[in-house]
Structure 1
Amino acid sequence: MSTSSISVLTPYTARSICPLSKHLTYLDLSHNQFQGAIPPPIAMLKNQEYLNLSNAGFHGEIPRSIGNLSSLRTLVLEGSGQKVHGLGWLSGLVSLKYLNTNFIDLGNETNWLGIINALPRLTELHLRGCKLLSPLSTLDHVNATSLTFLDLSRNELASFSVAGWIFRQGSLGFLDMSQNYIEGHVPYTSNTTKLQHTDLSWNKLSSVIPDWIYSCQDLKFVYLDNNFLNGTISKRVGNLTSLDTFGLSYNQISGEIPSDH
Structure 2
Amino acid sequence: MHRLAAAMLVSLLCCFLFIATLKAQQQPQPAASDNTASPPSCIPHERDALLAFKHAVTSDPAGLLTSWRRDGGHGEQDCCRWRGVRCSNRTGHVHELRLRNTREEAAAMEGKISPSLLALDHLEHLDLSWNDLTGPSGRLPEFLGSLKNLSYLNLSSIPFYGGLPPQFGNLSRMQYLDLSNSNFRGDTNSTDLSWLTRLSSIQYLNLDLVNLSTVVDWHHVMNMLPSLRVLHLSDCSLASANQSLPHLNLTNLEELDASWNSFDHPMVTSWFWNITSLRYLYLHATSMYGQFPDALGDMTSLQVLDLSYNYNNDEKYRIMTTDLKNLCNLEVLNLDWALLYGDIAELFRNKLPRCSPNKLQELDLNWNQLTGMLPRWIGQLTSLVILNLGRNNITGSLPISVGQLTGL
Superposed pair shares fold, TM > 0.5:
yes
CA contact (8 A) 1:55 1:81 kept: no
Distance of 2:368 and 2:221 partners within structure 1? 35
Q: Greater share of helix residues, 1 or 2?
A: 2
Distance 1:118 1:175, change over 3 A: same
Distance 1:212 1:73, change over 3 A: farther
C-alpha contact 1:137 1:161 (8 A) present in aligned 2: no
| Greater displacement, 86-95 / 157-166 | 157-166
Larger radius of gyration, structure 1 or 2? 2
Report the count of equivalent residues.
260
Q: Bigger shift: 215-224 or 155-164?
A: 155-164
Aligned residue in 2 for 1:5 = 96
Q: Is 1:16 matched with 2:81? A: no
Q: Which residue of 1 aligns with 2:325?
A: 214
In structure 2, C-alpha distance between the alignment counterparts of 1:157 and 1:75, rounded to whole Å: 25
**What secondary structure, in the 3-state scheme, does the structure 2 residue paired with 1:18 have?**
helix
Instruction: For structure 2, list consecutive stretches of 5 or more residues without a partner in the other structure.
Output: 1-78, 80-86, 88-93, 100-108, 379-408
8 Å contact 2:268–2:290 — kept in the other structure? no
Higher relative contact order (CA 8 A, sep 6+): 1
CA distance in 1 between partners of 2:321 and 2:333 (Å):
12
Distance 2:333 2:318 in 1: 16
Contact map agreement 1:4 1:24 (CA 8 A) in 2: yes
Change (3 A) 1:161 1:180: closer
Amino-acid identity (%): 31
CA distance, structure 1, for counterparts of residue 259 and residue 353 of structure 2:
28
Higher mean Cα deviation, 240-249 or 46-55?
240-249
How has the CA–CA distance of structure 1 residues 201 and 64 changed in structure 2, closer, same or farther, with 3 Å as cutoff? same
Deviations 1:93-145 (A, max 9, x none): 11110001111111111111111111101000111111111146211111011
**Aligned partners of 1:30 and 1:4: how far apart in 2?**
17
Alpha-carbon distance change, 252 to 12 in structure 1, aligned in 2, over 3 angstroms: closer
Q: Structure 1 residue 198 and structure 2 residue 305: aligned?
A: yes
- Does 1:257 pair with 2:374? yes
For residues 112 and 333 of structure 2, the distance between their equivalents in structure 1, rounded to whole angstroms, comes to: 50
Q: So what's the TM-score if we normalise by structure 1?
A: 0.90
Tell me: CA distance 1:162–1:48, structure 2 relative to 1, closer, same or farther (3 Å): farther
Conserved? CA contact 2:292–2:321, under 8 Å: yes
- Checking the alignment, whether the CA contact within 8 Å between 1:227 and 1:251 is kept in structure 2 is yes
User: Which residue matches 2:354?
Assistant: 239
Range 53-62 or range 96-105, more displaced: 53-62
Pair 1:161–1:184, CA change in 2 (3 A): closer
Pairwise CA RMSD? 2.3
Alignment pair present for 1:42 and 2:157: no
Q: Which residue of 1 aligns with 2:171?
A: 69
TM-score, normalisation: structure 2: 0.59
2:234 is aligned with 1:128 = yes
Separation in 2, partners of 1:91, 1:235: 45
SS of residue in 2 equivalent to 1:109: coil
In structure 2, C-alpha distance between the alignment counterparts of 1:12 and 1:172, rounded to whole Å: 38
Q: How do 1:81-120 and structure 2 match up within 5 A? A: 81-120=187-226
Which stretch of structure 1 is more off in the superposition, 66-75 or 237-246? 237-246
**More deviation in 154-163 or 192-201?**
154-163
Residue 58 in structure 1 maps to residue 160 in structure 2? yes
